[in-house]
Every structure is written in structure tokens, then in C-alpha cells.
Chain A
Amino acid sequence: MISTNLRIIAIAGSVALLLFIIELVRRRRLKEEYSVLWVTTAVLLLLLAAWGGLLRDLTTAIGAISQASTLYFFGLIFVIFLLLHFSVRVSALERRVILMIQEIALLGERGRPPAAHAEDLGPTERDEETSAS
């Protein structure tokens, strides 16, 4: 059993986190898309904290001794997933920034225009590039 104090803190913490996330989405500070992992994390932590039976069974299942460490263990796993999720998002953002840098650069072309074979391939070519990225 975890102590009543720890249980109260864990429940209060998860509820506060959940409310804070919803408030961020309401104020459009956090996009719905990114809230998914956060809401999942908060709900699962709340579940673990409030539902003593689940925590007990999980503790036995993973072979932990203290139920408190089960709580921390799952908390840590969620955090790792969130970080990985951010790395993926940052990679996607970087790809988009690179595309923009290149487009801006190409718009600012200077010097002799390549008139000899200027057959601008138009939007089709660009679409192909963008959709592939």
C-alpha cells in the first residue's frame, strides 16, 4: 500500500496536470494535436493513483517492491515517450524550415538569368518536391 499522503498528492497532481492541459488547449496555447500524449499521461497517472487495485497488481506484475516506485516508473516512461515525441516533432519542423530556407534563397536569385534554358517547370515540379518531403 502507498501512504494516504502520497496517494492524495498523486491524485491532486494528476488532476492539476489534466486541468492545466485543458486550460492550455482552451486558451489555444497548446494545439489539440500535441495535447494527446499529455492528456493520456495525466489520465493514466490519475488512474494509477486513484485505483489502488490496479497499482497493486501492476506492482506485482513488474516485480517491484514498493507501489510508489511503480508510480514513478510509469511516470518516467510517459516522460520518455513525450521527449521522443518532441524529437520527432523537431525533426519534422527542421525539415520544413530547410524547405523554406531553400525557397527563400531561390526566390532571391541574382546574377545572369539562365535565359538559355529558362523553362520554369511551374507548380507541378514544386508540388512533387513538397509532397515528397
Chain B
Amino acid sequence: MTGEDNLLIIIPAYNEQGRVGQVIRDVRSTLPGADVLVIDDGSADNTAAEALQAGAISVSLPVNSGYGVALQTGYKFGVRNGYAILGQIDADGQHRAEYLAEMLRTLDEQDADVIVGSRFLERDGHYRPSLARALGIGLFARIASLITHQHISDPTSGFQLMRIDVARFFCSEVYPTDYPDADILILLHRTGYRVREVPVQMRPSPGQSMHSGQSGPYYMYKMLLSIFVTLLRPGARNAP
């Protein structure tokens, strides 16, 4: 069993004043033993101060560098400070922290390395993305499922839990810091890590988020290219 006292929950946040505090409180009430780390991605508002006030550890990037760079900073923090399990949750309140407990249980029981909270695993239709986004997510879910030979319903979900080995792997240059997304799942599969999905409910996104680029033509292009070159590379090393 893995206790929650060796657990770090990473919250990448860009201009999330007024929202991030509640997310931190939710995480802390769900997992009282876990540490919470907010990566303030060069916010112009008081995101970092709000995070500190809510009891989180705060790390501020000196310039706005994007979701992937912020997340990877969190992985480095987790690896260097000896945590056993890292989780990540969005700062805008879209992800519901109460699911972290179940994700943690699944990580233990199913002998997995990465748990992804999926909006679509239970087809209850609670989450309705825009048409463009739904098409994009559907396409990459299909591609990721084909390549990994397992059903992947939500390849773009940033609601995850992982063992520290995976985070250590992500600290190297294999990690696509510009748009970590569906390509991550394929990379993990090719490296030999086991990914499992857990159904979660999400709240509607309150507008601008760190993922706001996730449906444009550049996103489609980048993801297809990234998946393609991931497949061209040698299958990396096998997971320990």
C-alpha cells in the first residue's frame, strides 16, 4: 500500500486568483496527508499568494512558459524531494479533487503506473465539449487506443496520478514541454509503463484555461507530428 503522506499534488496555475485557493482546500480535505504544490506560471495576479494562504507550497516561474513547462517543474520538485506518488489537477476548478482518493486506490489495486481521470469513460454525457474539441479528442482517443492496444477514452485529460518513476522519466527531454497531451500516453506505453483510466466527473471549464489552445489547427498538427515521431523513435528503455 502507498500512503497518502508521501504524495504530492501538483497544480499548474496561470492567473487563477479566486479559483486556485478552493482547489487547494478541496485537495487538502480529500487527502489531508498530501502536500500540495502550486506552480505559478508567471501569473500577473496574486495566484502564488492565494496558494500560500491556502496552505500550498508555491513555486513561481519567472516568465510565463506554458502548461508543460509548469508541470515538468512540478515533477522535478517531486523527484528531488523524495515523494513516492505525484498527482496533477487543474487550477481552474474543472477537475474535482474528491476523485483523487479513488484514483489513488486504483493506482494501488490495479498495479498501474499512471492513472488518468477520464471524462468519457462513463458515457453519462455530463461533459460536453465544443464540436471542434470533441472531434479532436475523439480522433486522438482513437489513435491512442489503436497504438497502445487498450481503450483510451480521454487522451487530453490533465487529471492524473503517477508513480515517481514516471515523473523521473518525465524530467528528461523526452517530455514534450510545449503540449503534453495524447503523445504522452503513447510515449508511456512504448516505454512500458501501465496506464489506467478512471471515470471522473468534471465541472464545465470557466473559460480561459491553460489548455485554451487545445482545438486549433496548430494543436492538431503538433499532436499528429508528435505521435508520429514518438513512433519513429526507438521504444525507449523499459520501465523498471
A: residues with CB less than 8 A from B are: 95, 98, 101-102, 104-106, 108-114, 116-121, 125-126, 128-129, 132-133
Contacts and interface: CB of A to CB of B under 8 A. Distances in A.
Contact of A111 (B58, B72, B79): B58
Given A98-B69, A106-B76, A117 B58 contact: no
A132 B79 CA distance: 15
Interface stretch (B49-57, B131-139, B142-150, B180-188): B49-57
A61 to B, nearest CB: 33
Query: Chain B at the A interface: mostly helix, strand, loop or mixed?
Result: mixed
Contacts of A114: 8, 35, 57, 81, 83
A122 to B, nearest CB: 9
B57 A108 contact: no
B226 interface: no
Q: Give the size category of B's interface with A.
A: 20 to 34
17 contacts: A102-B72, A104-B62, A105-B39, A105-B59, A105-B62, A106-B73, A109-B57, A109-B59, A111-B56, A112-B55, A116-B6, A116-B35, A117-B81, A118-B82, A128-B172, A132-B172, A133-B173
Contacts of A121: 79-80, 82
Contacts of B81: 114, 117-120
A117 B62 contact: no
Given A104-B62, A111-B58, A117-B81, 4 more contacts: A113-B57, A118-B81, A132-B172, A133-B172
A121 B80 CA distance: 5
A98 B48 CA distance: 20
A108, A110, A120, A126 pick with most chain B CB within 10 angstroms: A110
B59 A98 contact: no
Contacts of B61: 101-102, 104-105
B193 interface: no
Contacts of B48: 110
Given A102-B61, A129-B171, A110 B52 contact: yes
Contacts of B51: 111
B173 A102 contact: no
Contact of A102 (B35, B69, B174): B69
A116 to B, nearest CB: 7
Contact of A116 (B5, B55, B63): B5
B77, B81, B174, B177 pick with most chain A CB within 10 angstroms: B81
Contacts of B82: 117-121
A126 B80 CA distance: 8
A117 B86 CA distance: 14
B60 interface: yes
A105 B174 CA distance: 21
